[in-house]
Amino acid sequence: MTDRVVLAYSGGLDTSVSIGWIGEATGAEVIAVAVDVGQGGENLETIRQRALACGAVEAYVADVREEFATEYCMPALAANALYMDRYPLVSALSRPVIVKHLVKAARQFGAGTVAHGCTGKGNDQVRFEVSITSLAPDLKCIAPVRDLALTRAASIEYAERHSLPIEQTKSSPFSVDQNVWGRAVETGYLEDIWNAPTKDVYTYTDDPTFPPVEDELVITFAQGVPVAIDGVAVTPLQAIQELNRRAGAHGIGRIDMVEDRLVGIKSREIYEAPGAMALIEAHRDLEGVTVERELARFKRTVGARWTELVYDGQWFSPLKRALDQFLAETQRYVSGDIRMTLHGGRATVTGRRSDTSLYDFNLATYDEGDTYDQSQARGFIEIFGMQSKLAAARDARFGQGVVL
Ligand code: ARG
């Protein structure tokens, strides 16, 4: 029986050419798999028809936006996931959900190999292949661009020679990956890291230099998940979409950074993640009110580690899974309302209220109604500072005291 290959298919030039290219190079039949993670653009039926027209024997298409928002973006929100303190894991989050569907399709159509369109220089090849082996150790992986010498020039030539139905008119100067959690833009003149991004880089956000009048909203969270905006119930997907629109209008969530890739390269990337950044800001603030101090401190460490694991393609790893359990536990009381103002590139929290709050007005107040016994602070500090005092006295004995 001829081998079958499931291909992660975007509908673009390279993956369209890959269908025939894989067939010629390996003799296998190709099944195209296209999933909607909120990247916008063409509808799935158009993409499906193109895959078949390019020679795929089957096309598997699925709208996985709710699944992606609920099972991938919401855990990232629980972790306040920002790689290198800045990047909200946009592409890193979508790879595991795409892989899940690639493996489903492989099982459904009896394929023994999975193919993806990544180059050999980035993180995504690692994410695809490590996730595939984690879910289906028996499947093989190939990458036509990396392993079968499919260059850009060869793609264009192949598409013309076979009259493939692909528009090549306006080829973007950038390499873009986008989904509902955000958008990543690289290559072209951005590779000179002194070059400032030009206006055409951005599509999820408007220029924050000339913002419309400020937009105030209230986000309601239940156990760390946004469940309503301005009192109207929303699914996680709807919450992200609405905030993409509203925060995007104020230019919130633009990120220009040089990041450390897993493969050892530093690379320049521009991100736009208006909804994700506004949600993380709101969620973090609510955690400030509802998460106990020691748990909050440790959670920051766990969240940072979780983020690195996901960035590094370890979504299905045992450590990541165990940290998921920890993070879920931390969200038990992260419920309540956050009021925020969106304006001029910033999402600013201006108020919070929660039935599960640990904020005690009577302990905090400097006005009437104080229930905090200040006389006990003296004894607390005496004992808390004991070790420092002993160490300082020893330093003095050995002439090592702080020079004034
Ligand atoms: N550097 C980011 C990551 O590894 C985004 C890569 C997405 N690809 C792109 N063509 N911009 O998660």
Same domain for 32 and 143? yes
Same domain for 240 and 286? yes
**Which of 15, 123, 128 best tests ligand 1's pocket when mutated (most atoms within 8 Å of CB)?**
123
Is residue 42, in this structure, part of any structural domain at all?
A: yes
Question: Checking phi first, is residue 253 left (phi over 0); if not, alpha (psi -120 to 50) or beta?
Answer: left
Same domain for 218 and 156? no
Residue 65 sits in a domain whose CATH number is: 3.40.50.620
72: DSSP letter: I
Same domain for 44 and 125? yes
**Which of 124, 152, 176 best tests ligand 1's pocket when mutated (most atoms within 8 Å of CB)?**
124
Same domain for 242 and 133? no
How far, in Å, is the centroid of ligand 1 from the Cα of 271?
A: 9
From 4, 10, 14, 177, active-site residue: 14
How far, in Å, is the centroid of ligand 1 from the Cα of 177?
A: 6
From 36, 124, 285, 312, active-site residue: 124
Question: 165 falls in which pLDDT band (50, 70, 90)?
Answer: confident
What pLDDT sits at residue 133? 97
Cβ atoms within 10 Å, residue 199:
7
- Bridge partner list, 115: 7, 142
Question: 368 falls in which pLDDT band (50, 70, 90)?
Answer: confident
Same domain for 207 and 255? yes
| Domain final residue, candidates 171, 189, 221 | 171
Listed residue (148, 153, 270, 253) closest to 205, CA to CA: 253
Is residue 322, in this structure, part of any structural domain at all?
A: no
Same domain for 16 and 49? yes
Is residue 123, in this structure, part of any structural domain at all?
A: yes
Same domain for 206 and 156? no
Q: In the annotation, is 124 catalytic?
A: yes
d(CA 257, CA 269): 6
- Please state the atom number of ligand 1 nearest to the C-alpha of residue 175: 10
Question: What average pLDDT does range 359-368 have in this prediction?
Answer: 92
Listed residue (169, 176, 168, 170) closest to 201, CA to CA: 176
What pLDDT sits at residue 64? 98
Question: What average pLDDT does range 334-344 have in this prediction?
Answer: 98
Is residue 315, in this structure, part of any structural domain at all?
A: no
Question: What average pLDDT does range 351-367 have in this prediction?
Answer: 95
Is residue 327, in this structure, part of any structural domain at all?
A: no
Listed residue (2, 3, 184, 162) closest to 86, CA to CA: 184
Q: Which three-class secondary structure state does DSSP give residue 80?
A: coil
Same domain for 180 and 167? no
Residue 379 sits in a domain whose CATH number is: 1.20.5.470
Is residue 328, in this structure, part of any structural domain at all?
A: no
- Please state the atom number of ligand 1 nearest to the C-alpha of residue 122: 4
Number of domains present in the structure of the chain: 3
Same domain for 37 and 149? yes
Q: Is the pLDDT reported for residue 170 higher than 70?
A: no
Q: What is the mean pLDDT of the chain?
A: 96
d(CA 268, CA 183): 14
Q: Which three-class secondary structure state does DSSP give residue 252?
A: coil
Residue 204 sits in a domain whose CATH number is: 3.90.1260.10
The protein residue whose alpha carbon is closest to atom 1 in ligand 1 is 269
Same domain for 9 and 148? yes
Of 94-98, 257-261, 400-404, give the lowest mean pLDDT range.
400-404
Q: In the annotation, is 175 catalytic?
A: yes
Q: In the annotation, is 378 catalytic?
A: no
Is residue 273, in this structure, part of any structural domain at all?
A: yes
How far, in Å, is the centroid of ligand 1 from the Cα of 83?
A: 12
How far, in Å, is the centroid of ligand 1 from the Cα of 96?
A: 14
Residues 51-105 pLDDT 10s = 999 999 999 999 999 999 999 999 999 999 999 999 999 999 999 999 999 999 9
Q: In the annotation, is 85 catalytic?
A: no
- Please state the atom number of ligand 1 nearest to the C-alpha of residue 311: 12
The protein residue whose alpha carbon is closest to atom 3 in ligand 1 is 91
Which residues lie below 8 Å from residue 285, measured CB to CB, with a gap of 6+? 338, 349, 352
| Domain final residue, candidates 171, 205, 223 | 171
Pocket around ligand 1 at a 6 A CB cut-off: 91-92, 123, 175-177, 184-186, 269
Is residue 86, in this structure, part of any structural domain at all?
A: yes
Structure tokens that stand for 83 in this block: 């790689």
Same domain for 191 and 96? no
Structural domain for 390, as ranges: 361-397
